Structures are given as structure tokens and as C-alpha cells.
Amino acid sequence: MKIVILDGYTENPGDLSWEGFEKLGELTVYDRTPADKIVERIGGAEAVIINKTPISAETFHACPNIKYVGVLATGYNVVDVAAAKEKGVVVSNIPTYGTAAVGQFAIALLLEICHHIGEHSAAVMRGDWASNQDWCFWNYPLIELAGKTMGIIGFGKIGQSTARIAQALGMNILAFDEYKNPALESETCKYAALDELLAQSDVISLHCPLFPSTEGIINKDNIAKMKDGVIILNNSRGPLIVEQDLTDALNSGKVAAAGLDVVSTEPIQSDNPLLKAKNVIITPHISWAPKESRQRLMDIAVKDLDAFLSGNPINVVNK
């Protein structure tokens, strides 16, 4: 089988091995593929592995040998799955690989907001401590999390992972999710209606999928229901937030700070209003990217293709 990987660099910039795929067929790997090269590079390949390179109906039509598309991610909106189904092409994704990493990163954003560790370290390196008349100093208010409430919108595996770390820091959890599992409730973790969560949370962390019902869930109306000085975290999907509304709330002080690993259009556009917002941390969509997490993703992607070749495809998104 001919296998082509069209945009392998973000998954494997050189610290992992493609050996698993090499054992399954004749492999060609491209770090990145521009739109005008997609059809040419797929050529006669039967298995196409992608991360964010789009595979359209036109591509399926132009490349009739395609039998399988493997997505090196959980989201698969870059593939025209209806066209794939019509052509008899199996599309598989990676449903769970970065639970621990993404939960950890959400808390890392929160801790940076609470302590500004990077900026205080930079102040020391530029001599501010050596020249200070007191034995210590801080340039920003420092926040203790114990006893505060974290509201988690989307209480699946990643939301639960984030909650466990927050509870270890002494926080109480309010969870909002369409599907409730009473076994997850405890003295420090309760399900709540969305309005209750918005009103009572000191920190709100987003861990829900992007559906029509969740798109723009952080908007000016919902922000108005929140506590003054709330902290908002998002390392789920950028369009969950109306970015101008969050910018206005940050600049007015209604929202004390935000920690974001995702934005509505990625890479971020120069006119994104959040780039001019006060008290915001924005990182370049890297919650998923620890080596351990990427290795797990690689292993599952190889299993997906191997299962397809064995006639028992798994993680199929276009059944």
C-alpha cells in the first residue's frame, strides 16, 4: 500500500519515528503541503494521513485510489466526510490521546495568571531584585486558589482531568455538561446549571466540543452573569468565545484575566482583538504537544491504519 503523510511536521518535528507507518506500506512524508500541491502529492496513494491539510470532495474525485484517510487529531472537520463516504473511503481520527496533557496545560495557564512566574523571573534576570531595597517584591497581585471555585464547561475526560488537578490545589468544582455522571460528584465537585456556574465561579475553564449550541458560549450576555474579576481559560476550541466580547470585558476589568491556547482563526490573525486586550495570555495551540502525547497519537494512528488494512477499521467517523 502507498501511504502519504501530507503535513507531518507538527506531529513529528524530528523527535518521533514514522517506523510504525513504514511497516504498513510504502511511505512518503511531507512536512507541509500547500493547497495547490495536495492532489499532486497524493497521486496514486491509497492511504492519506493528515493533520490540518484539507481533503475536499474535489480531491477525492481527482485521486480515485484513496481508500483511507487518517487524521492525526481528534477534530476531522478538514475532511469532507460526506464525500469520503460517497466514495467508499474510510476516515478515522484519534479520539483520545492528550487528556492528561491538555488538563495539565489548562492549570499551567491558570497558575501563570495567578503568579506571573515568567515575568517575575525576567524581572530578576534584568536586575530588579538585586537593586531592590526590600528582600522580595512582586509586580502583580498574587492569587491563592485554595477555597475558590472552578466552573468547568464540558465535563468529559479532559474536563475531569482538569478538575482533579484543581481539586488537588484545594478548589471546588462546578461542572456543566449535557450528560451527567452522578458517580463523579463529591463534596468538592457538583454538577450545576450553566447560569449557576457562571454566577458562582471564580475561574471558568472551557473543555467542551464546538457545536452550534456551544459556539460563542462566552459572550457579552454570559460574561455579564459572571463574578467581577473572573478568570477565563480556553484550551478547547477558539470559536467557543466571542473574541471582541472577551476583549471588551478584559479591558473593562469585568474579566480579570484570560489564559487561551486557541483562537477563532489559527494561526492567529494580526487583527484579532485579543492581541490588544489587557491581562491575556495567548499560546500557539500547544496543549496537545508534549512528546508523550504526540507519541500516543502516533501509536493510535498506526493502529487505526493497521485495523483498516486488517478489514476491521476503528475510530471511523463516517460510518
Q: Are residues 209 and 258 both part of a single domain?
A: yes
Q: Are residues 303 and 215 both part of a single domain?
A: no
SS3 category, 21: helix
Q: Are residues 107 and 83 both part of a single domain?
A: no
The reply to whether 194 falls in a domain is yes
What tens digit of pLDDT does each residue of 64-105 get? Answer: 999 999 999 998 999 999 999 999 999 999 999 999 999 999
Q: Are residues 51 and 109 both part of a single domain?
A: no
Nearest to 238 by CA among 211, 210, 275: 210
pLDDT of residue 309: 98
What tens digit of pLDDT does each residue of 157-216 get? Answer: 999 999 999 999 999 999 999 999 999 999 999 999 999 999 999 999 999 999 999 999
Cell of 87: 466514495
Q: Are residues 90 and 113 both part of a single domain?
A: no
Q: Are residues 85 and 106 both part of a single domain?
A: no
Residue 232's pLDDT band (cuts 50, 70, 90) = very high
Domain containing 51 equals: 2-97+291-309
What tens digit of pLDDT does each residue of 41-55 get? Answer: 999 999 999 999 999
What tens digit of pLDDT does each residue of 264-318 get? Answer: 999 999 999 999 999 999 999 999 999 999 999 999 999 999 999 999 999 999 9
Rounded Cα gap, residues 89 and 158, in angstroms: 30
Rounded Cα gap, residues 173 and 193, in angstroms: 13
Question: Would you say the C-alpha torsion 59, 33, 77, 66 has a positive or negative sign?
Answer: positive
Residue 35's pLDDT band (cuts 50, 70, 90) = very high
Residue of 116, 207, 237, 296 marked catalytic: 237
State the CATH number of the domain containing residue 260.
Answer: 3.40.50.720
* 266 has catalytic annotation: yes
pLDDT of residue 290: 98
pLDDT of residue 86: 97
Burial 60-75 (b: 16+ CB within 10 A, else e): beebeebbbbbbbbbe
* 237 has catalytic annotation: yes
Q: Are residues 219 and 110 both part of a single domain?
A: yes
Q: Are residues 160 and 244 both part of a single domain?
A: yes
pLDDT of residue 161: 98
Q: Are residues 270 and 240 both part of a single domain?
A: yes
* 296 has catalytic annotation: no
Q: Look at the chain and count its residues.
A: 319
The reply to whether 314 falls in a domain is no
Q: Are residues 108 and 199 both part of a single domain?
A: yes
How much of the chain is in helix, strand and coil states, percent to nearest 5?
A: 35, 20, 45
Rounded Cα gap, residues 291 and 72, in angstroms: 14
Q: Are residues 154 and 235 both part of a single domain?
A: yes
The reply to whether 150 falls in a domain is yes
pLDDT of residue 205: 98
Cell of 156: 468529559
Asked if 9 and 32 touch (Cβ cutoff 8 Å), the reply is: yes
Predicted TM-score of the model (pTM)? 0.94
pLDDT of residue 18: 98
The reply to whether 111 falls in a domain is yes
Q: Are residues 33 and 123 both part of a single domain?
A: no
Asked if 232 and 204 touch (Cβ cutoff 8 Å), the reply is: yes
pLDDT of residue 12: 98
The reply to whether 317 falls in a domain is no
Helix 99-115, helix 117-125: angle, nearest 10: 60
Nearest to 234 by CA among 109, 52, 99, 146: 109
Rounded Cα gap, residues 190 and 175, in angstroms: 6
> If you average pLDDT over residues 249-259, what whole number do you get?
98
Q: How many domains does the chain have?
A: 2
The reply to whether 319 falls in a domain is no
The reply to whether 56 falls in a domain is yes
Question: Mean pLDDT over all residues of the chain?
Answer: 97
pLDDT of residue 277: 98
Cell of 57: 470532495
The reply to whether 316 falls in a domain is no
Nearest to 25 by CA among 7, 4, 44, 9: 4
